[in-house]
Amino acid sequence: MRFVLHLLVMIAVALGIGFGLSYYALTDGRLFGAARAGVWTAWPDIGTTMPNPYTRSHIARADVLQLGRSEGLQFTATTDSAGQPLDLACNYRLDGHTPMATFWTLVATDPEGVNLARKGGDIAIRSSNLARTNDGAILIHVGRHLAPQNWLELTGTGGPFSLVLTLYDTTAFSGLTSAVEAMPTITREACS
């Protein structure tokens, strides 16, 4: 009886660790192939010719046309800088600087990758069409409620969403360190 109990516990632990760790590695992936910069996550190995096994599995799971290493790098944020999940019911403000790049784009998508911008409005924010502050920093408002200056207008009633920042021809992660010094912060504003 004791043997069976031990065996069951061992199998439960093995399955939990085996599949749980795999799921974590391919979704959050922080200790595996993914790199974090503030609230932003990227897979720096994704566009290389020999990605590591975790990145390879992530590529198979994401199943999208990823950027080659020399083309650029994509960062995704699912929470604001306070750690709260991004919610469509709220407005958010992006402040700060981005790593050096020829240009970048910012889009908002739902968990399935569907673009949430208002039909007929701007589908994305592009770095070249941006009003900047005096020191060159960005200030972008994202959400359903009217906002001044740069505003990515979204539609929808509520629920989680992601912000995707794609840097083209960027120097991020190309140096000796894996640290990205400058990424915008995401601050929650009014909710309804």
Partner 1 sequence: MIRTLLWLLGGLLLGGAIHIIVILTLPSLAEETVWTRIAALDARDRVVVLPDVEPGEPNPFGLDPTLVYGVCQVDLSEGPAYMSGTMPDAFWSVALFNEQGIVTYSTTNRDGIGTTLDLGIFNAAQTRLLAQQQLDIEEGLLVVEAETDDLFVLLRLAPPHAAMRQRFKDELAAVTCSSGPSS
Per CB under 8 A, residues contacting partner 1 are 6-7, 9-19, 21-22, 25-26, 47-49, 51, 53-54, 56-57, 59-72, 102-103, 105, 107, 109, 112-119, 121, 123-124, 126, 128-129, 155, 166, 168-169
To partner 1, the closest distance from the beta carbon of 173 in angstroms equals: 15
Per-residue HEC secondary structure of 111-137 comes to CCCCECECCCCCCCEECCCCCCCCCCC
Nearer to partner 1, 82 or 114 (CB): 114
To partner 1, the closest distance from the beta carbon of 82 in angstroms equals: 28
Report the C-alpha gap between 190 and 88 in whole angstroms.
11
Provide the b/e sequence for 74-112 (b: ≥16 CB within 10 Å): bbbbebbbeeeebbbebbbbbeeebbebeebbbbbeeee
Distance of CA 95 to the CA centre of its chain: 16
- Residue 106 and residue 114 in contact, taking contact as beta carbons nearer than 8 Å: no
Nearer to partner 1, 36 or 69 (CB): 69
To partner 1, the closest distance from the beta carbon of 112 in angstroms equals: 7
Nearer to partner 1, 97 or 126 (CB): 126
To partner 1, the closest distance from the beta carbon of 150 in angstroms equals: 15
Identify residue 75 by its one-letter amino acid code: F
To partner 1, the closest distance from the beta carbon of 36 in angstroms equals: 20
Nearer to partner 1, 114 or 131 (CB): 114
Distance between first and last Cα of the chain: 57
Nearer to partner 1, 3 or 83 (CB): 3
Classify strands 138-143 and 150-153 as parallel, antiparallel or unpaired: parallel
Report the C-alpha gap between 125 and 152 in whole angstroms.
7
